[in-house]
Chains A and B, each alone.
Chain A
């Protein structure tokens, strides 16, 4: 089976292996290529969506509180206790003893025995010594203003960076979407190409499928089987949609018995295409029946379509 697997099949098998391994990691690409990476991403998301059908149920509020408390403990964040809204008695202010005012000093008439200022120097230097203080104050003021401006600039830059980051993330998402679409198209083209190669191969066996017996059904089909008697492609048209609770089922008539090829349904006017890389060994005939929804273990109704027998699949 392995040699027939496509890159997509390999990716799905890798997804299943990831599920078995239970590491919780996304699907690993089968090979180092962009297509393989995109397919791995797509099937990772399919796995994520499988669990989406479950009815959500809200956890107990305690679970959330415990989690956040644990997080706070781990990161050393102190959780503030709930503030009690009841007013607290004000703490009495300490008694302040008034400090007695100092007694006025006796006025003493000082004789200018020694001049306070040396001769020849005026009082101007005293005023002059204040300028460093004034300069320091001015510098401090300027620095404070500059710091404020820098903080504001930084905040603005952070906003700009955040906005650019979010734009970049948006562009990245768009690019990823485009890549995903391209990969999907590539997979589709690959599928169509392989079907085209199959139906145009010189040694392909072609078998028309016709309504069984005297049924006046417009349904028709054509089965193409590759020379390896494994790859096949079936085109069906004119089949009406199955009635409620019913499905069409494909059957292979082989040496080992009648084997189910799977169930399907169709839409009005649709040409249905089915294909696979495997079919039972020594298949001699093919037929389609209408079965209960989900299919049966063995055909339970007369064939709607069956191989017209003008081919040899053995």
Chain B
């Protein structure tokens, strides 16, 4: 009698479906897979680890209660989570900027030190993808990378960026368009893996 084939890792989309069926194990599995990179993103935006961990918790509770809102035709699960974490972090940053400018200034003077995750948290596949994305971002001309990062990590509009860097709005838009096109072209295989 042939032995059954070993079960491969369950895809993120299947886990989201199980979360929709109220499986806490599926939520825990998604958390274990994505929490380290999502925490890094929230911390990059917010600067404070405690705030970032709160956002992380909020986002996974949001996933638990709104798994049905995930549309596999519009994004991969990892991208969906990245966009939700980014959005919540920017919201928190904006409200904090209003009420807590003093703390913000103090934080900028003493930024949270970046530290790598412990070995084993990140799969080889994700690590390779991260290195590839990092390399491609490094290859972008600095002026293009700058406008892209200001839009992504600070939630600034194109007009706000133009005002900050002292360039015409058209130039800022052109730079962002070029950066996005380059990334799409350079990260073709990574995007295909996510589709």
Contact = CB atoms under 8 A, between A and B. Distances in A.
Interface in B139-164: 141-143, 148, 151-152, 155-158
Interface size class on chain B is 35 or more
Nearest to A247: B141
B58 to A, nearest CB: 9
Contacts of B82: 47-48, 51
Interface string A38-59: 0011111111111111111111
Interface stretch (A7-15, A94-102, A124-132, A218-226): A7-15
Given A75-B24, A278-B170, A49 B190 contact: yes
Nearest to B154: A19
Interface in A38-85: 40-60, 63-64, 66-68, 70-72, 74-75, 77
Contacts of A63: 35, 53, 56-57
Contacts of A74: 61, 64-65
B32 to A, nearest CB: 8
Interface in B38-82: 39-41, 43-44, 53, 56-57, 60-61, 64-65, 71, 73-76, 78-80, 82
A26 B72 CA distance: 11
Contact of B152 (A42, A50, A262): A50
Interface stretch (A169-177, A234-242, A298-306): A169-177
A1 interface: yes
Contact of A19 (B36, B129, B152): B152
A45 B187 CA distance: 10
Given A58-B117, A263-B141, A1 B39 contact: no
Contact of A67 (B11, B40, B57, B191): B57
A184 interface: yes
B74 A57 contact: no
A72 B24 contact: yes
Contacts of B195: 41, 45, 173, 176-177, 180
A50 B64 contact: no
A44 B79 contact: yes
A145 interface: no
A16 interface: yes
A215 interface: no
Give the interface SS of chain B, mostly helix, strand, loop or mixed: helix
Given A26-B75, A46-B183, A12 B84 contact: no
A24 interface: yes
Given A66-B57, A68-B28, A184-B188, A12 B80 contact: no
Nearest to B83: A24
A89 interface: no
A59 B32 CA distance: 10
B181 A12 contact: yes
Which one of A56, A169, A247 has the greatest number of beta carbons of chain B within 10 Å? A56
A24 B64 CA distance: 16
A180 B155 CA distance: 28
Contacts of B165: none
Contacts of A294: 141-143
A241 to B, nearest CB: 13
Closest 4 CB pairs of A and B: A48-B79, A24-B87, A56-B36, A53-B134
Interface of A: 1, 8-9, 12-13, 15-16, 18-20, 22-26, 37, 40-60, 63-64, 66-68, 70-72, 74-75, 77, 166, 169, 173, 176-177, 180, 184, 247, 262-263, 276, 278, 294-295
19 contacts: A8-B181, A12-B177, A13-B177, A16-B151, A20-B155, A22-B90, A26-B79, A40-B74, A51-B82, A51-B86, A54-B44, A55-B115, A55-B116, A56-B39, A57-B36, A58-B121, A74-B64, A180-B195, A262-B141
